[in-house]
Structure 1
Amino acid sequence: MKSLRNSLHTKPYTAQKLRDNIFIFDRLLFYLNKSKKQLTKTITNDNILIVKLNLIFGLFYSFKRRIPMTINFGCHGTTWVLDYDEKVDGLDHILDTVKKAGFKGVDVQYALLGKYNDSPEQLKEKLDSMGLKLAALTLPFSWESNVESEEEKKRADYYIDYLKHFPNALLNLPARVGPNRDNLLKRQKDIISCVNAVGKRAYENGVVASFHPHSPANSYFRIKSDYDVLFEELDTRYVGYTPDVGHIMAGGMDPLEIIKEHLSIIKHVHFKDCSSSFEWKKMGYGDIDFPAIVETLVNYGYDGWIIFEEETDEAKVAADQCVFDISKYVEKNLQPIVRGEIVR
């Protein structure tokens, strides 16, 4: 343990060493947390043992926090175009607004790539010239069987190769909303089987993949029981989890608790506001405790992007202004937490 502690103080960190350390700790924390939950169910009368488990868990968290981490803030293309599959050649305008608002990067659905769809090099050049990053590419699928169709596999592989041009950009994978929730468990297992297959190929090509659940009425991963299946089936050796706090709230769950429970597999984060009555709200006007979530991520040592989006009626007609308003909220309420200026 002492040598491990010393190794975490050794500098400079190489990118590969950071990735190795983060991977090791994430896997240890994931299995330790899983074991802790199972054990505490059977040893509820042994307070000393529970305290020891908590101390061990805390020790691993403290080691994780010694690895230098960075949280970056970016925007999602859905604030401008909500439909993942609606093709609009407006990415230049989105990038210009994101830059002016002070964000560092974008997560865009594949349909917004427009003229850049066939030229990742051109998009990379554009982003570099603006000082922006591609945080993630959102790629939706239907996955109507437990194996990908030939077309689905071809499309997934194309965008896995596409992302190789963007160091550390992530492949964000949502399942399309279905016509209903019939044969729910089978549909859920089929979807995650395909997600795991895509994630494994991405992993083998040096790309991180992460699954993004939704909350519309016919979504396959919407409420707590759906999430239980998701986390049971997801192969976290190859696929991470993208919590969307608005969708978590709209599914009747507590976003902070879901994030705390699954910190070790979170690879990407989406923020949008929602009320306790499940209405989309402007950032800061709903019932989600964003500062508490950011503090939790900072304390854990989360190293990745928080991506902002808005689904209000205002966003449909004034998306740019919504992004500028979100930026003001972030600068006032969230950036000070990330910079260590506020300890709640």
Structure 2
Amino acid sequence: MKLGYQTNTWGGVVGHPAGVTSVKDLYYLAYGSTEQAVRDISKAGYAGIELFDGNLMQYEDRPQIFENLLTEHNQKLVGVYTGANFIYRDILEDEFHKIEKVAKLASAFQAEHLVVGGGAVRASGILDSDYKALAESLNRVAELAAKYNLRPSYHPHLGTIVEKPEQLDRIMELTSIGLCPDTAHIEAGGGDPLATIKKYVNRIPYVHFKDYGSGSFLPLGEGNQNFRAMAAVLRDNHYSGWITVELDSYEDPLNGAVISRNYLREQLNLNEYQTIPTGRGE
């Protein structure tokens, strides 16, 4: 197993304001410094990073700067996180226009994973047909990811039509896309992250570890999550991919990353599974 960290802690989970009036520009965007995030993540002892789509697209016209940043800090671009409503036919092509731009750039930077969230909740409530529409869109995401040699996975998320356990089961039955379990979002939605990993372990190409307690997202070891058991299930099923730690916001991002890294090293003995890349592309 290899350990990565999401850069969104440096700036928080926000979005690009252009998306209010232009669906094709509706990116996730953390407002902090990606450069500082990469430096801190490397210092904390992780081998790779995951970026929001909007933060990745900031390097579209200056790719060498991003390449140099990764090389200088010995980091791998593990993946990029994107998303869409996916249920409204009239805007679907603009949503996929954005996702394809993101996938193309991520592939150019040798990323491995394309992670998507979404499935909008209508003002009038969820329609039964929304699950079919989401499933069709996720299958299309999987095809697009394959075009760019990326591994696609769906990330269940609070505030979408896939936040509860029964909702996740339903969408997993309707689509063949992989699952990226965000352990905290699963628990916050009323699910059991350990049971979810056990149930779908053969469909998991990528994992997000995030702790949860008292209604808040927390560094690993400070909440309710049984990461020891989750890691054991993954190991027993020969999982050798990335585990990316995520913490949407924290007063001291570097310290939050260090807390989680120390927990993984000391409590789960994951250090022996981590492979620090010795150069770009490994």
TM superposition score normalised by structure 1: 0.69
Identity, % of aligned pairs? 23
- Distance verdict in 2 for CA 1:211–1:120, change over 3 Å: farther
| Mapped pair 1:72 → 2:2 | yes
Structure 2 counterpart SS, 1:103: coil
Tell me which of 163, 173, 186 is aligned to 1:232.
173
Of Structure 1 and Structure 2, the greater helix share is in: 1
Moved more, 175-184 or 257-266: 175-184
Where does residue 265 of structure 1 map in the other structure?
203
Q: Does the Cα contact within 8 Å between 2:152 and 2:178 map onto a contact in 1? A: yes
Where does residue 220 of structure 2 map in the other structure?
283
| Mapped pair 1:190 → 2:133 | yes
Q: Does the Cα contact within 8 Å between 1:90 and 1:114 map onto a contact in 2? A: no
Aligned-CA RMSD value: 2.4
- Distance verdict in 2 for CA 1:130–1:337, change over 3 Å: closer
**Residue identity opposite 1:246 in structure 2:** A
**Residue identity opposite 2:142 in structure 1:** G
Q: Does the Cα contact within 8 Å between 2:107 and 2:150 map onto a contact in 1? A: yes
CA distance in 1, matches of 2:256, 2:148: 36
CA distance in 1, matches of 2:219, 2:145: 34
Where does residue 18 of structure 2 map in the other structure?
none
For 1:85-124, list aligned pairs within 5 A: 85-86=28-29, 88=31, 90-113=33-56, 115-124=58-67
Tell me which of 143, 161, 178 is aligned to 2:104.
161
**Residue identity opposite 1:271 in structure 2:** F
Where does residue 164 of structure 2 map in the other structure?
223
CA distance in 1, matches of 2:47, 2:118: 27
CA distance in 2, matches of 1:243, 1:112: 22
CA distance in 1, matches of 2:204, 2:111: 15
| Mapped pair 1:295 → 2:237 | no
- Distance verdict in 2 for CA 1:337–1:293, change over 3 Å: farther
- Distance verdict in 2 for CA 1:163–1:282, change over 3 Å: closer
**Residue identity opposite 1:78 in structure 2:** N
Asked which structure has the greater CA Rg, the reply is: 1
Structure 2 counterpart SS, 1:256: helix
Structure 2 counterpart SS, 1:107: strand
Q: Does the Cα contact within 8 Å between 1:141 and 1:174 map onto a contact in 2? A: yes
Tell me which of 331, 340, 344 is aligned to 2:265.
331
Q: Does the Cα contact within 8 Å between 1:77 and 1:112 map onto a contact in 2? A: no
Where does residue 19 of structure 1 map in the other structure?
none
- Distance verdict in 2 for CA 1:170–1:113, change over 3 Å: same
Give the length in aligned residue pairs. Answer: 261
Unaligned runs of 5+ in 2: 16-27, 275-282
TM-fit CA distance, 1:180: 4.7
CA distance in 2, matches of 1:295, 1:272: 16
TM-fit CA distance, 1:318: 1.8
- Distance verdict in 2 for CA 1:176–1:119, change over 3 Å: farther
Q: Does the Cα contact within 8 Å between 1:143 and 1:194 map onto a contact in 2? A: yes
- Distance verdict in 2 for CA 1:339–1:154, change over 3 Å: closer
- Distance verdict in 2 for CA 1:114–1:89, change over 3 Å: farther
TM-fit CA distance, 1:230: 1.2
TM-fit CA distance, 1:120: 3.8
Unaligned runs of 5+ in 1: 1-70
Q: Does the Cα contact within 8 Å between 2:119 and 2:134 map onto a contact in 1? A: no
